[in-house]
Amino acid sequence: MIPIHELLSRIRWDKEFGAAAFRLGFYDRKEAKLLYVSLDAARFGHGDRFAFAFTDEEGVCHDVPLHRIKEVWRNGELIWRREH
């Protein structure tokens, strides 16, 4: 299994592979379950290999460490999984 930062880099730089709909499944400690966010909604700082941010439906910004990403889906197909 490739590290998550390498998969995210491939999605960003490989135009053919990255031209798809991606979802990230991450573990939320407060809810004690996986939550999903579209990769389009995730914001990565320039050169940041440690976290991403997203704003939820209520307008609250969340920072999520990359080690909490447990699944990556491409066009509805699971392509990457880390044990919970």
Give 37-69 pLDDT, tens digit per residue.
Answer: 999 999 988 766 799 999 988 999 999 999 999
Between CA 37 and CA 50 the distance in angstroms is: 17
For residue 68, which of 30, 22, 23, 34 has the smallest C-alpha distance? 34
φ, ψ at 7 (rounded to 5°): -65, -45
38 and 52 in contact (C-beta within 8 Å)? no
1.10.520, 2.40.160, 2.60.40, 2.30.30: CATH of 4-81? 2.30.30
Can you give the pTM of this predicted structure? Answer: 0.89
Rounded Cα gap, residues 23 and 62, in angstroms: 16
Q: Given a cut of 90, is residue 1 above it in pLDDT?
A: no
